[in-house]
Amino acid sequence: MPGKIWSVTGLVVLAQREGVRGSAAAASAVAFQALVLGTGVAVVAGATPGATSGLRLAIGLLVALASLGVLVWGPTARWVGRVMNAEAPLNPLPLSAVGLSGALMVAGWVTYGFAFWLFIRGLLPDAQLSIATAAGAFTLSYILGTLALFAPGGIGVREVVLVSLLTPSLGSGGALAASIGSRVLLTVTEAGAALLSVALVRRSTAEGSPESP
């Protein structure tokens, strides 16, 4: 099964366990991926417009807007809901929710980019790299890794993109070290966050359950 399908399927399954309808969970997963793509394209266009062609950025933005439009516009949202679950139609996404989610996603990309810049400064203190270049390179590598359905977590794709974008500023050796180090850092922090979340949920469940007689 393609790597990206695992994460989307996992998101839907976990949402269903919390009582969310399958159709709504699947629609939210699609909307989330569209927001990742659309806001990521916007950040790349603003931070490093020369990182890739304008046509590719425009296509990515159109795909994201079209995907969100299907879920925002009432007739298409209800049609998708009937196809997925005729007994429980899908309500269209409120524009306010999409707008707020998009703003938070952009803030997330900026935070990721700044963290990546700090990481490179710590790894290569003499590196001459702007925050904008670091943010654009990280974001583009992330969204291309997301679009690479065959690669779990975008592994391989992200690293190649980062090396190609960072080599002019860091040299080939520095760019390779930054890309590999970023992968290790992301893996450790994401796994740590997941383990912490599981521990907190289990503790909350244990505290909320009635005591055995």
Contact 44, 52 (CB under 8 A): yes
Asked if residue 82 belongs to a domain, the reply is yes
Contact 10, 1 (CB under 8 A): no
Whether residue 211 is predicted with pLDDT greater than 70 in this model: the reply is no
Whether residue 212 is predicted with pLDDT greater than 80 in this model: the reply is no
Decide: helix, strand or coil at residue 14.
Answer: helix
Decide: helix, strand or coil at residue 21.
Answer: coil
Average pLDDT value for the chain: 87
Could you read off the pLDDT of 63-98 as tens digits, one per residue? 999 999 998 998 898 888 787 765 667 788 899 999
Asked if residue 161 belongs to a domain, the reply is yes
In which domain, by residue range, is 117 found?
3-204
What is the arithmetic mean of pLDDT over 106-120?
A: 96
Q: What is the pLDDT of residue 83?
A: 79
Asked if residue 209 belongs to a domain, the reply is no
Asked if residue 211 belongs to a domain, the reply is no
Asked if residue 210 belongs to a domain, the reply is no
Asked if residue 173 belongs to a domain, the reply is yes
- Structural domain count of the chain: 1
Cα–Cα distance, 83 to 45 (Å, whole number): 36
Name the nearest CA neighbour of 81 among 24, 13, 14. Answer: 24
Asked if residue 80 belongs to a domain, the reply is yes
Whether residue 30 is predicted with pLDDT greater than 90 in this model: the reply is no
In the chain, pLDDT over 70 holds for what percent of residues? 93
Phi and psi at residue 126, to the nearest 5°: -90, 5
